[in-house]
Amino acid sequence: MTSRERIDAVLHGKAPDVLPVDFGGGFQTGLHVSIVYQLRQALGLDMPGEPVKVVEVYQMLGQVAPDLQDALGADTVSVAGTGTMFGYPAREFKEWEMPDGTPVLVPIDFNTEYEPDGSLLQYPENDRSAPASGIMPAGGHFFDAIVRQKPIDDDKLDPADNLEEFAPVSEDELDWYAGEADRLFNETDKALFCTFGGLSFGDIALVPATFLKDPKGIRDIEEWYVSLAMRPDYIRSVFDRQADIAIENLKRLHEAVGDRISVIQTNGTDFGTQNGPFMSPGQYRELFKPYQKRLHDWIHENTSWKTFMHCCGGIEPLLDDIIEAGFDILNPVQCSAAGMDPRALKKKYGRRIVFWGGGVDTQKTLPFGTPQEVREEVKQRIDIFAEGGGFVFSTIHNVVPNTPLDNVLAMFETIGEYR
């Protein structure tokens, strides 16, 4: 099979020739830019000092270029827009050096001027007259959002304020998606993994709106979570209008890219903690499921795309409803969280949803284990999840900085041996 055929087989309940693998298709299945640089050096793909492009500036993810895809056996390729989490475009790039010395390429508008304390700030649309919206602490590796919540007056709260970022997609952006989908579909045999804005309801990474100069509404992380219980009517009003806009944008996206893409991410919202869900199944059914189902019904009735849910934590009690909401794929499959035992998940849900992730623990085993422990966990997860199909190997979320290169190489060697 080609890579595209391999992924599509798994997504349609058929057996692939070998285990499909994803590294870099989505922004939760990638590798930190420092890890990409080390891999490229170790595999002899670059001369020392050759910079790696940052493809997602918030998490500082590195580009998995075609030569690295081939070296790692990756079966996917990313189709993403030109925007960034800080509201400036990512079409032109400049050289910069990470605090750890990694040479990288960052967007032209990326701020590279450090504060006196060694931290690095980012500004929405690179407008220095606006308050900073993101911070990389001194010696850090990626950014945290800076909450810029104004005082909340419940009598004056307007759902429109939390809808500012949801708008009709521009023709220029659609042209970009169309060009990328056409190029990657024809120039590669990879499955196209699409990331498209405005589809995820209540994604806490987006609530602070690091890309807006003057965010209004409910923008504090804690206040947003409180509002799920205290202001449910407000939340429903936001989601209802967001769903309308999202469906219109999906129609236009489909006109632009057709059925060339295989997977589209429709959720980045986390519903779980390390110890289980932080909302009841009833609250999920009331606040999230109806709007997710509206999007998925349109997608499944009008396209061949498969829908991708990224959701961290111990969410097993929500999985029946998540599947009923129309999700075809679950990621990152956080096996270290409560209730997420891989054997139990595979037995109960393996015929109803594709597991995309779960390949190795990026909280403990990969960054802190030995190469042998990495090999054993990777082999075990392949044995469990790949049986009968329905599994795409990826790590449990992105490979984080400071992960020992020997462990990363052990992971890829084991995938190659057992896939």
* Helix (H) / strand (E) containing 131: none
Whether 343 maps to a domain, the answer reads yes
Rounded to 10 degrees, the C-alpha dihedral 71/41/142/90 comes to -70
pLDDT at res. 35: 98
Query: What percentage of the chain has pLDDT greater than the value 70?
Result: 100
Q: How confident is the model at residue 175 (pLDDT cuts 50, 70, 90)?
A: very high
Q: Are residue 185 and residue 90 in the same domain, yes or no?
A: no
Secondary structure (3-state) at 249: helix
Q: Are residue 203 and residue 269 in the same domain, yes or no?
A: yes
* Range 72-85 average pLDDT: 97
Q: Are residue 318 and residue 192 in the same domain, yes or no?
A: yes
Whether 308 maps to a domain, the answer reads yes
Query: For the chain, how big is the Rg over CA atoms in Å?
Result: 21
pLDDT at res. 236: 98
Q: Are residue 176 and residue 128 in the same domain, yes or no?
A: no
Whether 94 maps to a domain, the answer reads yes
Q: Are residue 210 and residue 311 in the same domain, yes or no?
A: yes
Tokens, residue 254: 């489909």
Strands 134-136, 120-122: pairing is antiparallel
72 Cβ partners below 8 Å, 6+ apart?
A: 21, 23, 39, 64, 412
Q: Are residue 294 and residue 157 in the same domain, yes or no?
A: yes
pLDDT at res. 320: 98
Whether 124 maps to a domain, the answer reads yes
State the Cα–Cα distance between residues 80 and 26, nearest whole angstrom.
Answer: 9
Q: Are residue 216 and residue 103 in the same domain, yes or no?
A: no
pLDDT at res. 27: 98
Q: How confident is the model at residue 307 (pLDDT cuts 50, 70, 90)?
A: very high
Q: How confident is the model at residue 210 (pLDDT cuts 50, 70, 90)?
A: very high
Q: Are residue 208 and residue 299 in the same domain, yes or no?
A: yes
Tokens, residue 181: 């989908």
Mark which of 142, 167, 187 sits at the end of a domain.
Answer: 142
Whether 404 maps to a domain, the answer reads no
Interval 177-204: pLDDT, tens: 999 999 999 999 999 999 999 999 999 9
pLDDT at res. 26: 97
Q: Are residue 104 and residue 208 in the same domain, yes or no?
A: no
Mark which of 142, 159, 174 sits at the end of a domain.
Answer: 142
Tokens, residue 172: 């220029």
Q: Are residue 46 and residue 189 in the same domain, yes or no?
A: no
Domain range enclosing 265: 3-22+75-81+151-356
Q: Structurally, how many domains does the chain consist of?
A: 2
State the Cα–Cα distance between residues 118 and 99, nearest whole angstrom.
Answer: 9
Whether 136 maps to a domain, the answer reads yes
> Could you tell me which of 84, 85, 81 has the C-alpha nearest to residue 261?
81
Return the CATH number at 231: 3.20.20
By the 8 A CB rule, do 119 and 125 touch? Answer: no
Interval 232-268: pLDDT, tens: 999 999 999 999 999 999 999 999 999 999 999 999 9
Q: Are residue 179 and residue 321 in the same domain, yes or no?
A: yes
Q: Are residue 132 and residue 163 in the same domain, yes or no?
A: no
Mark which of 142, 165, 185 sits at the end of a domain.
Answer: 142
Tokens, residue 217: 């509404």
* Range 387-409 average pLDDT: 97
Average pLDDT of the chain? 97
Whether 336 maps to a domain, the answer reads yes
Strands 103-107, 52-56: pairing is parallel
Interval 81-131: pLDDT, tens: 999 999 999 999 999 999 999 999 999 999 999 999 999 999 999 999 999
By the 8 A CB rule, do 101 and 122 touch? Answer: no
pLDDT at res. 30: 98
Whether 388 maps to a domain, the answer reads no
Cis preceding linkage at 116, omega within 30:
no
